[in-house]
Amino acid sequence: MSAHTAQTELKLIGKLILEGEMRCETGLHVGAGKGSLEIGGSDNPVVKDAYGRPYVPGSSLRGKIRSLLEQASGLAVPSELVYLSRRKGQEVRIHQSDRPDDEICLLFGRNPGRMERVQGETLETSQATPARLAVYDAPLEPESITAQMRENLDDELTEVKSENAIDRITGQANPRTLERVPAGARFKTRFVMDVLCDEDAPLFSRVLEGLRLLEDDALGGGGSRGSGRVSFSGLRLAWRGKSYYASGAAEKEIGAGATLGAIQQAVNEAAFAFIHED
Print pLDDT tens along the chain (278 aa). 678 988 889 999 999 999 999 999 999 999 886 544 454 455 689 999 999 999 999 999 999 999 999 999 999 999 999 998 888 888 899 999 999 999 999 999 998 889 999 999 999 888 789 999 999 999 999 999 999 999 989 888 999 988 878 878 887 888 888 899 999 999 999 999 999 999 999 999 999 999 999 999 999 999 999 999 999 999 999 999 999 999 999 999 999 988 999 999 999 999 999 998 76
* pLDDT score at 1: 63
Find residue 74's DSSP bridge partners: none
* pLDDT score at 207: 98
State the Cα–Cα distance between residues 56 and 67, nearest whole angstrom.
Answer: 17
State the Cα–Cα distance between residues 239 and 278, nearest whole angstrom.
Answer: 10
* pLDDT score at 42: 57
* pLDDT score at 172: 83
Q: Which amino acid is at 156?
A: E
Count of residues in the chain: 278
Please answer whether residues 133 and 207 qualify as being in contact, where contact means their C-beta atoms are separated by less than 8 angstroms: yes
* pLDDT score at 257: 83
Q: Which amino acid is at 7?
A: Q
Helices (H), 82-125: 103-108
* pLDDT score at 40: 46
Find residue 20's DSSP bridge partners: 189
* pLDDT score at 36: 44
State the Cα–Cα distance between residues 218 and 64, nearest whole angstrom.
Answer: 9
In terms of Cα–Cα distance, which of 49, 44, 41 is closest to 31?
Answer: 44
State the Cα–Cα distance between residues 95 and 41, nearest whole angstrom.
Answer: 37
